Chains A and B, each alone.
Chain A
């Protein structure tokens, strides 16, 4: 056997098994994270399917409402963000993502529709793994952000 070929073969064998392990771990870890957030979402966020949910950004109350309800994937949705006691210096926006899973950038641009009120269209996509937990993150440039975690309906 060619002595010089051995280290190369070992490296390639190692790379193959590392790649296989990474594939498996990527799938497993994302499943774990989704499960944890899924269990915690009800307690932390209230129920986005029944009405607006409220969080705080720097002492200001931020309310997120998604319509139509119940909130379903692959439907045209309207996101409404309302601030009480604050008019943001810059237009806020909502980033949609899945906890522990990179679904690509999905930003809902909001436009000013009244005092402390912003509205914009968005779509929550369906994940073929069956996971339904989503994170709608409201960001106010320069002020902070608030996360709303919930499960979409089938």
Chain B
């Protein structure tokens, strides 16, 4: 007969929580980022870049969960990474603004991630390296980085991961407990973000120029919002 241990049921709880949070929270908060990624891809295939972006994000959640489980303290770790998160929020806003400018065609920046033309002298060396990679695999490190964005539900899951790590007794088992739980949570959030990313792909439209221009304005606004929120965080 099938029976579930306490640990297994905890993984299931984290997975379903991630799923519910994904459709209830992530769409509003991280939706603009994945929509920006989709629009930036234009007519190129979307699924693999989005899966890679999400794989990077989930990896970061897992590492954070492992650290929380190892230390058993949410507030101690959160205090240490707060400055980094602030910087990443500002960085993500700048990335979105750069993608908006690249997409609009009003400013000659080229496409940031995989186009033939490289940005010249306006964006930082980091952006140029991303652009130069000409690879969809650039979305994995981007996901790794943006997985550090400050997020309420991720914090809440990390609190539970830290508690589970504290209850685990040994440091190593605490690490793996936290790692596994946050991987489960992160996997739960993937369907919502992949779905939105796919729906936002407009490469199949015949007449795309107007949509790209309108989306560029919206994306730039979202980028400004992220920068302001990052400064005030």
Chain A 1-43 interface 0/1 with B at a Cβ cutoff of 8 Å (1 = within): 0000000010011011001101100110010000000000000
Per DSSP, chain B at the interface is helix
0/1 interface trace, chain A 110-136, chain B, CB 8 Å (1 if under): 000000000000010111111000000
Contacts of A9 on B, CB cut-off 8 Å?
Answer: 204-205
The answer to whether B17 and A30 touch across the interface, beta carbons within 8 angstroms, is no
Q: Tell whether, in the assembled complex, residue B17 and residue A26 are in contact, meaning their CB atoms are under 8 Å apart.
A: no
- Contact B202–A16 (Cβ < 8 Å): yes
Q: Is the CB of B89 within 8 A of A128?
A: yes
B151: contacting residue among A20, A123, A128, A130, CB under 8 A: A128
In the bound complex, residues from chain A placing their C-beta under 8 Å from that of B202 are 16
The answer to whether B152 has its CB under 8 Å from any CB of chain A is: yes
- B156 and A30 contact, CB distance less than 8 A: no
Interfacial chain A residues near B17, Cβ < 8 Å:
104-105
Asked whether B35 lies within 8 Å of A130 as measured between CB atoms, the reply is no
In the complex, A30 Cα to B27 Cα: how many Å?
12
Which one of B21, B199, B229 contacts A102 once the chains associate, using CB atoms below 8 Å?
B21
Interface size for A (C-beta < 8 A) is: 29
A128 to B28, Cβ gap below 8 A? no
CA distance A101 to B24 in the complex (A): 8
Given A16-B199, A76-B75, A128-B89, A101 and B152 contact (CB-CB distance below 8 Å): yes
Asked whether B28 lies within 8 Å of A27 as measured between CB atoms, the reply is yes
Q: Which residues, 21 to 80 on A, are CB-close (under 8 Å) to B?
A: 22-23, 26-27, 30, 74-76
Task: For B31, list chain A residues within 8 Å (CB).
Answer: 23, 26
Q: A128-B152, A128-B229 are in contact. Are A123 and B28 (CB under 8 A)?
A: no
CB 8 Å contact bits of B214-232 with A (1 = contact, 0 = none): 0000000000000001001
With A23-B27, A23-B196, A128-B233 given, is the CB distance from A106 to B156 under 8 Å? yes
Chain B: which residue is nearest A9 at the CB level?
A: B204
